[in-house]
Structure 1
Amino acid sequence: MADQSIPEACTSGAAPAPEETLPGNGTRGETPVQDGSGISRRTLLGTAGATGLVLGTAGGAVGYAAAPSEATPLSSVGADMAMFHGKHQPGITEGLQAKGHLVAFDLAAGAGRKEAAALLRRWSATAERLMAGEALTSDDTDVARDAGPSSLTITFGFGHSFFARTGLEKQRPVSLDPLPDFSSDHLDKARSNGDLWVQIGANDGLVAFHALRAIQKDAGAAARIRWQMNGFNRTPGATAHPMTARNLMGQLDGTRNPKPTDSDFDKRIFVPSSGSNDPSWMANGSYAVVRRIRMLLDDWEKLSLAAQENVIGRRKSNGAPLSGGSETTAMDLDKTDAKGEYVVPVNAHSRITRPDQNGGAAMLRRPFSYHDGFDANGVPDAGLLFVCWQADPLRGFVPVQRKLDRGDALSKYIRHEASGLFAVPGGAAKGEYVGQRLLEG
């Protein structure tokens, strides 16, 4: 939610990304396990390795990556694999994953740059193995033993406080300055910010938990968990055909996301390798704004369908703008009804969050829904773990959130309860660990 809401997050959409063929991966060498279709996991992954896999075929059904022409069979979900090494870190442009964990760490008392470097080295080695569907070299819990990579991605970032803790204040990007206060904020400081941030996503719950547990154990005495949140999205193959995901308000969420095929996609989402005010270690990196946005579902669900659609500015059934057309039809902001009133209300969420209404401000939204139970009165603690990516949060998230603060119809039905901003460096080359250029530069 970019912010006050779900910055066209509630309405925003995916990005058919260029198809990228990646090799499958082998199994851990265990006895073949049947998946219910008569095909063993070993056979499944072996076939994937022989034919190649399209990155995001599973995630594309629910997210922002390239989607196949037909729904992905559930039996193939485990074989999909993302790459750890690359120009950018994984977990940014891949399709939405069915399960996710967000976790922030603070360095332990007395831990500094040396301990942080050792920790990132451990984390990177663990991420590389787990994303390839391999067991850990030692002390593996076997939680994910029977599964393939399942599109696992693990992403690492640094918070504002990390740089003072490690004596690297001169390397702290200006873009990492704390976010301004917003009138809609009801933030819990204990569940906000942090020295280090890790995003974990996978299309299998056990694979995602296995990674979370491994990352937590790797932290050892160097860092302690500050906060941790769990999320989910629709499972790949759950719909008859690939489609934009829905959030817990029932709205299609991902219709207007920037697309990797857009000519200015990299400029908006990633820090350039030259000509930037950011330090050189942030080249090809991005900034993640993380917001825990509680949805006041009891209030929302009391609204009529027409009232909900006016709040968002789109049809709930198919995501089409109220001005007409299909989900991908450009919204006609000037169209009026017989009474001369705007068909898309002036305070509709999708109107306010449009890039062309915000000086071109854009961010790549990649959220997870969450549900943390009910209170004594049966009120759900549920909503969106909003994660958005941009080359500069002061030009991406901040202007949109400020505008939402001034009059978004959706603000009445949501509450921002936690927040964080993290600098996510570019991907690690083979033989490197994430953040090496910062910590050893």
Structure 2
Amino acid sequence: MPDQSIPQTRSPEATRGTPGPLDSDNPGAATAPQGVSRRRLLGTAGATGLVLGAAGAAAGYAAAPSSAATPLTSLGSERAMFHGKHQPGITTPMQARGHLVAFDLAAGAGRKEAAALLRRWSDTARRLMAGEPAGSRDTDVARDAGPSSLTVTFGFGHSFFGRTGLEEQRPVALDPLPDFSSDHLDKNRSNGDLWVQIGADDALVAFHALRAIQRDAGAAARVRWQMNGFNRSPGATAHPMTARNLMGQVDGTRNPKPGEADFDRRIFVPEEPEAGKGGPAWMANGSYVVVRRIRMLLDDWEELSLKAQEDVIGRRKSDGAPLSGGSGATESTEMDLEKTDGSGELVVPINAHARITRPDQNGGAAMVRRPFSYHDGFDADGVPDAGLLFVCWQADPLRGFVPVQRKLDRGDALSQFIRHEASGLFAVPGGAAEGEYVGQRLLEG
């Protein structure tokens, strides 16, 4: 799990459905503006809101006229835009709930059926991300909620191009990932023709989108695998901070950030891709995503002392500061890889995870990580099936994920406490313009 994270602040691609600052926790006093969402939250709860009991909430839902509805809280009204230069869900701040799902095209389905499917999916995603019903067959699961930062992102797997007769359009960067010694991959939960990432700050909104996408697939595609994840909810901490994983560690301190000079070059395919360097042309403004289900061996990890855990990672567990920093160090303090202690030992061990994953230790390789934690229950012995749904974005996986993972494979102290159980690589095209659907330049080009 490379030592990079995306900050939990709102990006320029997100817009608000209520007046006020982008990150305000103020639910507002005026009714939500027209056109933002057909759904309204009829009761808000929190430090500044009215707490309704079960009976009061039910009565309010049944009897309150729409003109008296309480406006959406800031959490519910957060909206990411479907149309744009890039697809949503790449630089969008990490969301509280996530679903990853891969589909295989049905037997006999080809380019025509794939185009119709992406057209349906794009229309459904556009509607749901605006807080509208999915269509005439909407399930009403999320009818009371706003957009809740919902994003829906679509990608194509290596096998998609053979099934649709588009082999000549398959990017070189989509060649299968190499084998790694830490892999224990379940082929049934890996790869796929099509991939969809769903994220939202409300669990029902996220499930609603998952169900709508699955229903839209119809006879054209079937689910190959599906995984559910979560992160800390926005506002759960006193101030925005890097997320923690299920090992309790601050996870991902050195993520590239939008606005940095070389961010676009590292994360997105250029508008005019060069052959063999992110191309072909239909991938302009797109990105490549590596998805890994990484199981954490929590029983073994939790047996370690605090110092041993910190030595494995190379950072303090309490605040993510590097072990080479003093008492006043913070998460952003530069790591001193040469610092030694009184006995001459490196303060940041040679096999510490944070040392190995640094971009300056990997030829500048960098990627944006937007993971979700997962927990799929306990086995008969009480061992948790839990860990990380690792999702990372880069302009070229051969220059991003692959070199870092190869180095981790050779001597990362964290390797004995994790197991890679599923894997996938997908080409995620650029965003759809108004009136277009995602992948149109590939499927109709």
Percent of aligned positions that are identical: 77
The equivalent position to 1:154 in structure 2, one of 134, 137, 152, is 152
Where does residue 365 of structure 1 map in the other structure? Answer: 369
How many Å apart are 1:7 and its aligned residue?
A: 1.1
> Does the 8 Å CA contact 2:103/2:221 hold for their aligned counterparts?
yes
How many Å apart are 1:113 and its aligned residue?
A: 0.1
Opposite residue 82 of structure 1, the aligned amino acid is A
SS at match of 2:411: coil
Report whether the alignment pairs 1:344 with 2:348.
yes
Offset from partner CA, 1:341-376 (integer Å, 9 cap, x none): 110000000000000000000000000000000000
SS at match of 1:338: coil
Offset from partner CA, 1:64-107 (integer Å, 9 cap, x none): xxxxxxxxxxx421110000000000000011100000000000
Report whether the alignment pairs 1:22 with 2:27.
no
> Does the 8 Å CA contact 1:8/1:353 hold for their aligned counterparts?
yes
How many Å apart are 1:34 and its aligned residue?
A: 1.6
> Does the 8 Å CA contact 1:44/1:76 hold for their aligned counterparts?
no
Q: For 1:102 and 1:82, how far apart are their aligned partners in 2?
A: 18
Q: For 2:344 and 2:68, how far apart are their aligned partners in 1?
A: 59
Report whether the alignment pairs 1:301 with 2:288.
no
Report whether the alignment pairs 1:326 with 2:330.
yes
> Does the 8 Å CA contact 1:81/1:131 hold for their aligned counterparts?
yes
Report whether the alignment pairs 1:34 with 2:35.
no
After the TM superposition, which parts of structure 1 deviate over 3 Å for at least 4 consecutive aligned residues?
15-21, 25-32, 38-48
How many Å apart are 1:8 and its aligned residue?
A: 1.2
Where does residue 90 of structure 1 map in the other structure? Answer: 88
Q: For 1:401 and 1:274, how far apart are their aligned partners in 2?
A: 28
Q: For 1:298 and 1:260, how far apart are their aligned partners in 2?
A: 37
Larger Cα Rg: Structure 1 or Structure 2?
A: 2
> Does the 8 Å CA contact 2:315/2:323 hold for their aligned counterparts?
yes
The equivalent position to 2:220 in structure 1, one of 219, 222, 241, is 222
Where does residue 180 of structure 2 map in the other structure? Answer: 182
> Does the 8 Å CA contact 1:13/1:253 hold for their aligned counterparts?
no
Report whether the alignment pairs 1:7 with 2:6.
no
Q: For 2:68 and 2:147, how far apart are their aligned partners in 1?
A: 12
How many Å apart are 1:274 and its aligned residue?
A: 1.4
Report whether the alignment pairs 1:418 with 2:427.
no
Where does residue 53 of structure 1 map in the other structure? Answer: none
Report whether the alignment pairs 1:316 with 2:317.
yes
Q: For 1:397 and 1:327, how far apart are their aligned partners in 2?
A: 23
How many Å apart are 1:29 and its aligned residue?
A: 4.5
How many Å apart are 1:242 and its aligned residue?
A: 1.2
How many Å apart are 1:22 and its aligned residue?
A: 2.4
Structure 1 segment 38-437 matched on structure 2, within 5 A: 38=50, 75-277=73-275, 278-324=279-325, 325-437=329-441
> Does the 8 Å CA contact 1:15/1:258 hold for their aligned counterparts?
no
How many Å apart are 1:136 and its aligned residue?
A: 2.0
Tell me the TM-score normalized by structure 2.
0.88
> Does the 8 Å CA contact 1:105/1:225 hold for their aligned counterparts?
yes
More displaced, 251-260 or 281-290?
Answer: 251-260
> Does the 8 Å CA contact 2:322/2:333 hold for their aligned counterparts?
yes
Offset from partner CA, 1:171-224 (integer Å, 9 cap, x none): 000000000000110000000000000000000000000000000000000000
> Does the 8 Å CA contact 2:41/2:70 hold for their aligned counterparts?
no
How many Å apart are 1:43 and its aligned residue?
A: 8.5
Tell me the TM-score normalized by structure 1.
0.89
> Does the 8 Å CA contact 2:40/2:146 hold for their aligned counterparts?
no
How many Å apart are 1:38 and its aligned residue?
A: 4.1
Q: For 1:30 and 1:18, how far apart are their aligned partners in 2?
A: 24
> Does the 8 Å CA contact 2:13/2:81 hold for their aligned counterparts?
no
Q: For 1:350 and 1:44, how far apart are their aligned partners in 2?
A: 53
Offset from partner CA, 1:112-146 (integer Å, 9 cap, x none): 00000000000000000000000122111100001
Q: For 1:21 and 1:371, how far apart are their aligned partners in 2?
A: 29
How many Å apart are 1:243 and its aligned residue?
A: 1.1
> Does the 8 Å CA contact 1:184/1:416 hold for their aligned counterparts?
yes
Q: How many residue pairs align between the two structures? A: 408
Opposite residue 148 of structure 2, the aligned amino acid is S
Change (3 A) 1:275 1:423: closer
Opposite residue 224 of structure 2, the aligned amino acid is R
Q: For 2:404 and 2:2, how far apart are their aligned partners in 1?
A: 8
Q: Which runs of 5+ in 2 are unaligned?
A: 18-32, 52-59
How many Å apart are 1:20 and its aligned residue?
A: 5.5
> Does the 8 Å CA contact 1:158/1:424 hold for their aligned counterparts?
yes
Q: For 1:336 and 1:266, how far apart are their aligned partners in 2?
A: 36
How many Å apart are 1:33 and its aligned residue?
A: 1.3
Q: For 2:39 and 2:231, how far apart are their aligned partners in 1?
A: 30
Offset from partner CA, 1:215-242 (integer Å, 9 cap, x none): 0000000000000000000011111111
> Does the 8 Å CA contact 2:11/2:93 hold for their aligned counterparts?
no
Change (3 A) 1:373 1:15: closer
How many Å apart are 1:16 and its aligned residue?
A: 6.0
How many Å apart are 1:261 and its aligned residue?
A: 1.7
